[in-house]
Structure 1
Amino acid sequence: MKDQNVSAIKSQAIMLVTENEAVTRMVEEAFPSEYENRVTENTNTFRALNGTALQIAFKHDVVIFEIDPDDTGEVQAIEDVLAHRDDDTLFVALTQNDLSISKARELRKIGIDEVLPLSIDGEGLKAAVGEKISARRVSQTNFAGGVAALGKVIPVAKSRGGVGASTVAVNLACSLVGGKRSFFRKSAKNRVALLDFDIQFGNSNVFLDIEDNGGFLQLIENSEVPDDHFLSSILQEHALGVDVLCAPAPMVPLQSMRSDVIKGMLDLLQRRYDYVVIDLPCAVVDWVEPIFKQATQLALVTDTTVPCVRQARRLIDFYREVNVGLSVEIVVNRERNTLIKTSHVREAEKVLETSLKHWLPDNPKVARNSVDFGRPVVDMKPQSDLGKALAKLAAVMSVDAQSLATKKA
């Protein structure tokens, strides 16, 4: 992913607004002229630029500037510029290292794409800008007739806590990206987002070795339907090509989220990603309704014990009240399929009214190493029995999601 980000920032016109010579040197080193980048330095502030800031800023691909969030005049001047934004110019603010989350959120609310500490080095700045530019260049798939295809929403639910739904969600998301490191060796790469909505006990980020950046808390505290710039600031790009929204590190109430916020998020994400995989909480809450209204299919992770099968049946009935035609894929975890079905498997299929097609074998060593090293099974041990089963599940769900979305369209 590093090489991809470096290539994304070639041939960029960059406007730099700073009086700090050290910042100027750092930016020029991060975006060298030999890569056909053009850095235009301006020692004035936005307030001093006045009306000319509009003409100057939007002629560039990236605007990098210093800002003191307590300087209300300068903040207002930048907000006035951003109010006239009608193109893809990227605005990156450099500010004090100990900036609070609330002040960073206020800067993002006026339209600033990225807020970075002044202590950041050239490589860090280059990587941050490269990620934003890569996200802007996402191309949308078109259906015949020219209508933009919306991404497929795939929630992953669990019949009980600890059944392995997070393992399924993370590996499903990574496999759906495609490329040489996944099951889809001959397919083009897809844009995939992984949202950990298990807001009290979610740990999908652990499987990917990502630390919570406070994005989910910002989403909760913001209490407004997010825009595209805000979503870009809270999603974290993983090296395997998945953009991740981590569950909040602090414990928060289950009712912290609102349905309108969830719907607004999904509306934006479906235009930007091919797949949106959602790890759901082990609870039924009001704000999951828009998820299932927009879902293409559901992956329900369970085992074949009587309590789990009964709970799975209840969940299917509940979710189909929201989306009558919802396609449900039952994933049996930590059990191996047998040629001759046992009586309890036949009984489970009878209760669930479907054939159990997806089985993930119990391989505790591979599963444990995956968590300990922070690498998904499909990346670390793709040739293991568990890795192959997870990749096969993703392949089937990818094909099914495409056909279901086409029928719906």
Structure 2
Amino acid sequence: MTEKNVSTLKSHSVMLVSENEAIAQIVADVFPAAEDNKVTENASSFQALNGTALQLAFKHDLVIFEIDPDDAVEVDAIKDILAHRDDDTLFVALTQNDLTISKARELRKIGIDEVLPLSIDGEELKAAVSEKISARSVPQQAFQSAATVLGRVIPVAKSRGGVGASTVAVNLACSLVGGKGSLFRKSSKSRVALLDFDLQFGNTNVFLDLEDNGGFLQLIENAEKPDDRFLSSILQEHTLGVDVLCAPAPMVPLQSMRPDMIEGMLDLLQQRYDYIIIDLPCAVVEWVEPILKRAAQLALVTDTTVPCVRQARRLIDFYREANMTLPVEIVVSRERNSMIRPSHVREAEKVLETKLKHWLPDNPKVARNSVDLGRPIVDMKPQSDLGKALSKLATAVSVEVQPVAAKST
């Protein structure tokens, strides 16, 4: 059913290769002629265009087409067109709803910018296309300009799985943006990126109601340092102002990433963002080292049980092998601070060699609702005890983290 209240996109030339009337109507609603758009409907396939497809395609800003990934002849026809690509024309494929991830990746490998289901509605198409157009419009100098200050890298680690590190990472990122919906107020908003590097068990996207767009898998499969345009295309912009790289939905080996790939990403991200929040895996892997070397501060989430405190101590020692001066902020999860320190807290402070300053009270109702609704606590319940504690943590981080001088070029 066609959406009736579709936010429109202005001033675009669209080539539609489809005989599906429902799709044609949706495209017409998203790109109405009244908004200075021009939609040209063509044959049902690129094969049917009899050699004119190449000439036609690159006369448009956007090409939307149906494709059966099992139709080798049609796939080859599109592949041939994309091989001659020399401009910013955007190619969006519509295909069966049950398309496997592997087949979707194969389509992206030949150069198709986005693969969407045929059941898509107007709002979904508009959102997907807007995201890709925005990524294409990011000027390269946004990444490459010789800024005087580099963005601050803040990894979030955990002493055990399930301790709440992803909750901290997501809410810290959203709070650091500033603006409405957060207790963390700023005169101007910060640019914040959230990277879920917990490759096998990452779920920050759940807290933000985002679906994996396959970007991380593309990054892994390319096996090369990403350039600015590619990196921009795989980051997803959340309504709260955070740009997110979701962990891959399929299980991938922890060694899928390499230190040089991480360094290449951070080179670009630190020039574009004020803060880069990284949710680390609960594992010791080689590619974490370049993150730690660039970290302005590390948040280590734990509880005060003996096993977790001991593991936190081991992690601190390991992290400081990569960065001897790394400031580590211990965040105690699911426990309220008290005026009189219990004996187990005093013992934990002795083992960790620091005073425990950051406490997140146990509020399972708010935490559960946040996950179920896909809304960060600082946005959904900013006045709750947990929301206030998370915002207070973000304030402390923003004050304590010092600017990093840019590298000379």
In structure 1, stretches of 5+ residues that fail to align are none
Q: Structure 2 matches for 1:209-288, cutoff 5 A?
A: 209-211=209-211, 235-248=235-248, 252-267=252-267, 269-270=269-270, 273-288=273-288
Three-state SS of the structure 2 residue aligned to 1:318 is helix
Matched, 1:172 2:197: no
The residue type equivalent to 1:404 in the other structure is P
Match of 1:99 in 2: 99
Q: Deviations over 1:307-359 (max 9, x none)?
A: 43332222122112223343322212233334565665555445434443322
From the superposition, tell whether residues 79 and 136 of structure 1 become closer, same or farther in structure 2 (CA, over 3 Å): same
Aligned pair in 2 of structure 1 residues 178, 36: CA closer, same or farther (>3 Å)? farther
**Contact between 2:150 and 2:403, CA under 8 Å: does it hold in 1?**
no
Q: TM-score, normalised by structure 1?
A: 0.80
Asked if 2 retains the 8 angstrom alpha-carbon contact of 1:362 and 1:386, the reply is yes
Q: Provide the rounded CA distance (Å) in 1 between the counterparts of 2:148 and 2:135.
A: 17
Report if aligned partners of 1:6, 1:127 keep a CA contact under 8 Å in 2.
no
User: What CA deviation, in whole Å up to 9, does each residue of 1:185-240 have, x standing for no partner?
Assistant: 44444443433333343333333344556665665566665666766676555443
User: Which stretch of structure 1 is more off in the superposition, 297-306 or 185-194?
Assistant: 185-194
1:195 is paired with a residue of what secondary structure? strand
In 1, Cα distance between the equivalents of 2:140 and 2:235?
Answer: 19
What's the counterpart of residue 163 of structure 2? Answer: 163
Partner of 1:113: 113
Q: Distance in 2 between matches of 1:288 and 1:17?
A: 45
Query: What is the letter of the counterpart of residue 113 of structure 2?
Result: D
Which ranges of structure 2 fall in alignment gaps of 5 or more residues?
1-5
Contact conserved, 1:173 with 1:192, CA < 8 A, in 2? Answer: yes
Corresponding position of 2:40: 40
CA separation of 1:242 and 1:255: change in aligned 2, threshold 3 A: same
CA contact (8 A) 2:7 2:126 kept: yes
Q: Give 1:308's aligned residue.
A: 308
For 2:196, the equivalent position in structure 1 comes to: 196
Q: Please tell me the residue identity of whatever aligns with 1:93.
A: A
Equivalent residue, structure 2, for 1:53 = 54
Deviation at 1:296, TM superposition (A): 3.3
Query: Matched residue of 1:111: which SS?
Result: coil
Checking the alignment, whether the CA contact within 8 Å between 2:135 and 2:229 is kept in structure 1 is: no
RMSD after superposition: 3.8
The alpha-carbon deviation at position 169 of structure 1 amounts to 1.2
Aligned to 2:317: 317
1:153–1:135 CA distance, 2 compared to 1 (3 A): farther
Answer yes or no: is the 8 Å Cα contact 1:114–1:233 preserved in 2: no
Q: How many Å separate the matches in 2 of 1:75 and 1:318?
A: 49
Cα separation, 2, equivalents of 1:176 and 1:242: 9
Moved more, 266-275 or 172-181: 266-275
Q: What are the Cα deviations for residues 139-160 of structure 1, in whole angstroms up to 9, with x where unaligned?
A: 79989x9438654332210122
Per-residue displacement from partner, 1:114-168 (whole Å, max 9, x unpaired)? 111233222221121122223444579989x943865433221012233221211
2:367 aligned with 1:375, yes or no? no
Give the structure 1 partner of residue 183 of structure 2: 183
Question: Match for 2:331: what amino acid?
Answer: V
**Structure 1 residue 85: deviation in Å?**
4.6
Q: Note if contact 1:331-1:357 (Cα within 8 Å) is conserved in structure 2.
A: yes
SS of aligned partner of 1:153: strand
The answer to whether residue 293 in structure 2 is matched with residue 296 in structure 1 is no
Following the alignment from structure 2 to structure 1, what is the Cα–Cα distance between the partners of residues 337 and 150?
A: 35
Given that 1:140 and 1:149 are in contact with CA atoms closer than 8 Å, whether structure 2 keeps it comes out as no
Change (3 A) 1:150 1:137: farther
Post-superposition Cα deviations, 1:362-381, rounded to whole Å, max 9, x if no partner, equal 33332233234332211121
Is residue 409 of structure 2 the alignment partner of residue 404 of structure 1?
no
Q: Is the 8 A contact 1:113 1:232 kept in 2?
A: no
Task: Give the count of matched residue pairs.
Answer: 401
Give 1:282 shift: 1.8
Which amino acid in structure 1 is aligned with residue 54 of structure 2? A
Farther-moved stretch of structure 1 (319-328 vs 348-357): 348-357
Tell me, yes or no, if the aligned pair for 2:140 and 2:229 is still in contact at 8 Å: no
Q: Distance between the aligned counterparts of 1:89 and 1:72, measured in 2?
A: 23
TM-score in terms of structure 2 length: 0.80
Provide the secondary structure at the position in 2 that maps to 1:16.
strand
Cα distance 1:67–1:97, how it changes in 2: closer, same or farther (>3 A)?
same
Question: Partner residue of 1:14?
Answer: 14
